[in-house]
């Protein structure tokens, strides 16, 4: 197969952590061609999507004393070639959030790819449908109590009822802008004003789950089915578990309750063409559905001795009809 990955600049990726690298490496190991590009290198020509692609050759990471170790020169790139993306068997859209207008424009370009020729993962339409915070509300029966509002009095009333809550900007990722809310905090009003830009932008307010101190579990779903999980435990005085803010990763299993959550979301994800997704689950409640560039497979593989990248590419081999 020929695979294109739309990623952030490869020089900024961490081969021992980033799932995009794990997927590319697995594709290469299984004998497929791996090409890369960036969202700003896409064009529409003749009614379909083209990109300036570079073929990449990776030196796979190695597990040494329980850590992924990479070469300092872990990738080599060919010259750029302007290519029709319909010449690829699949395109992975893996640009990191935030989902800006530029990101959305990229999804409109990808939308023009003939699905009979090339599978786009995740589906451009699905990426537009699924704001990572808001989409979760479609599964509110497995979610903690949550409101979305820019109205200070509505927010205050909710937080007073719940005693404590967590505020989430709707476009955030990796713990950015996530705030703990205590209604007796003297900064409470100011926090809401700053976060909602004085009542102009809605934010998500969610009941605080004390179980968060035991971890925020990342569950990776492939085509609606759970394939692995890792727990992220907050460290020090931090209440957020994100790896990007120092969360410690811990080996874990998927519980019966978490399988129910996966079953509740799986078919909807499949319908939306959201094939590769990371759920966040705290204390048996779904808190986020990550669809843009979910990560975690390097950590899961390291702790569980799996190869989820290989599993994804083997699934793709079956999903794509051979010519």
Ligand X SMILES: Nc1ncnc2c1ncn2[C@@H]1O[C@H](COP(=O)(O)OP(=O)(O)O)[C@@H](O)[C@H]1O
Least Å from the CB of residue 125 to ligand X? 22
240 as an active site residue: the answer is: yes
**How many chain residues are in contact with ligand X, going by CB under 6 A?**
23
Between CA 3 and CA 5 the distance in angstroms is 7
Q: Is 129 in the site for Mg ion (CB under 5 A)?
A: no
310 as an active site residue: the answer is: no
Q: With beta carbons less than 8 A apart as the criterion, state whether 298 and 218 touch.
A: no
Asked if residue 122 has a cis previous peptide bond (ω within 30° of 0), the answer is: yes
Q: Which stretch binds ligand X (CB under 6 A): 2-10, 67-75, 77-85, 200-208?
A: 200-208
The b-or-e profile of 252-265 (16+ CB within 10 A means b, else e) is bebeeebeebbeeb
Between CA 59 and CA 53 the distance in angstroms is 19
Interface with ligand X (CB under 6 A), residue from 242, 272, 293, 295: 242
Instruction: For CA atoms 82, 85, 89, 95, give the dihedral sign.
Output: positive
87 as an active site residue: the answer is: no
114 as an active site residue: the answer is: no
Q: Is 89 in the site for Mg ion (CB under 5 A)?
A: no
Residue 33, number of CB atoms within 10 A of its CB: 15
232 as an active site residue: the answer is: yes
Least Å from the CB of residue 218 to ligand X? 9
Interface with ligand X (CB under 6 A), residue from 91, 127, 130, 178: 178
* All residues at 6 or more sequence positions from 218 whose CB lies less than 8 Å from its CB, including other chains: 229, 230, 231, 232, 278, 279, 280, 290, 294, 295, 296
Q: What does the CA dihedral 37, 38, 43, 49 come to, rounded to 10 degrees?
A: 60
Interface with Mg ion (CB under 5 A), residue from 280, 291, 298, 299: 280
Q: With beta carbons less than 8 A apart as the criterion, state whether 229 and 217 touch.
A: yes
Smaller CB separation from Mg ion, 28 or 287: 287
280 as an active site residue: the answer is: yes
Site string for ligand X, 81-100 (x = CB under 6 A): --------------------
Q: Which of residues 287-306 bind ligand X (CB under 6 A)?
A: 287-288
Smaller CB separation from ligand X, 180 or 315: 180
Instruction: For CA atoms 145, 149, 154, 156, give the dihedral sign.
Output: positive
Distances (CA, A) of 98 to 173, 198, 255, 268, 291: 7, 21, 31, 23, 12
Among residues 129, 216, 288, 301, which one is catalytic?
A: 288
290 as an active site residue: the answer is: yes
Interface with ligand X (CB under 6 A), residue from 18, 96, 258, 280: 280
Least Å from the CB of residue 112 to Mg ion? 31
* All residues at 6 or more sequence positions from 185 whose CB lies less than 8 Å from its CB, including other chains: 191
Between CA 25 and CA 77 the distance in angstroms is 14
62 as an active site residue: the answer is: no
Smaller CB separation from ligand X, 287 or 293: 287
Least Å from the CB of residue 157 to ligand X? 18
Q: Is 209 in the site for ligand X (CB under 6 A)?
A: yes
Active site residues: 133, 168, 218, 232, 240, 280, 288, 290
Q: Which residues bind ligand X (CB under 6 A)?
A: 144, 166, 168, 172-176, 178, 206-209, 212, 216, 234, 240-242, 280, 282, 287-288
Q: Which residues bind Mg ion (CB under 5 A)?
A: 280, 288
């Amino acid at each position: 197969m020929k695979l294109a990955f739309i990623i952030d600049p490869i020089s900024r990726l961490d081969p021992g952590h980033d799932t995009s690298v794990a997927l590319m490496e697995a594709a290469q190991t299984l004998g497929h061609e791996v090409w890369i590009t960036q969202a700003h290198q896409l064009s529409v020509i003749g009614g379909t999507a083209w990109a300036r692609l570079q073929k990449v050759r990776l030196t796979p990471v190695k597990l040494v004393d329980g850590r992924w170790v990479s070469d300092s020169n872990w990738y080599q790139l060919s010259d750029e070639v302007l290519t029709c993306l319909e010449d690829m068997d699949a395109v992975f859209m893996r640009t990191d959030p935030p989902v800006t207008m530029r990101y959305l424009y990229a999804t409109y370009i990808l939308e023009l790819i003939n699905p009979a020729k090339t599978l786009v993962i995740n589906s451009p339409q699905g990426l537009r449908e699924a704001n990572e915070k808001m989409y979760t509300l479609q599964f509110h029966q497995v979610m903690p109590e949550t409101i979305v509002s820019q109205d200070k009095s509505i927010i205050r009333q909710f937080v007073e009822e719940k005693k404590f809550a967590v505020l989430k900007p709707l476009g955030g990722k990796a713990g950015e802008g996530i705030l703990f809310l205590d209604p007796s905090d003297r900064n409470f009003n100011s926090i809401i004003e700053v976060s909602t830009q004085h009542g102009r932008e809605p934010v998500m307010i969610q009941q605080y789950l004390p179980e968060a101190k035991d971890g925020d579990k990342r569950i990776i779903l492939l085509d609606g089915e759970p394939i692995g999980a890792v727990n992220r435990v907050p460290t020090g005085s931090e209440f957020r578990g994100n790896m990007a803010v120092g969360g410690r990763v811990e080996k874990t299993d998927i519980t019966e309750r978490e399988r129910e959550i996966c079953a509740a979301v799986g078919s909807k994800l499949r319908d939306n063409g959201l094939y590769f997704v990371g759920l966040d689950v705290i204390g048996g409640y779904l808190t986020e559905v990550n669809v843009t560039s979910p990560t975690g497979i390097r950590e899961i593989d390291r702790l569980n001795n799996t190869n989820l990248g290989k599993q994804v590419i083997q699934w793709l081999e079956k999903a794509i009809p051979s010519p």
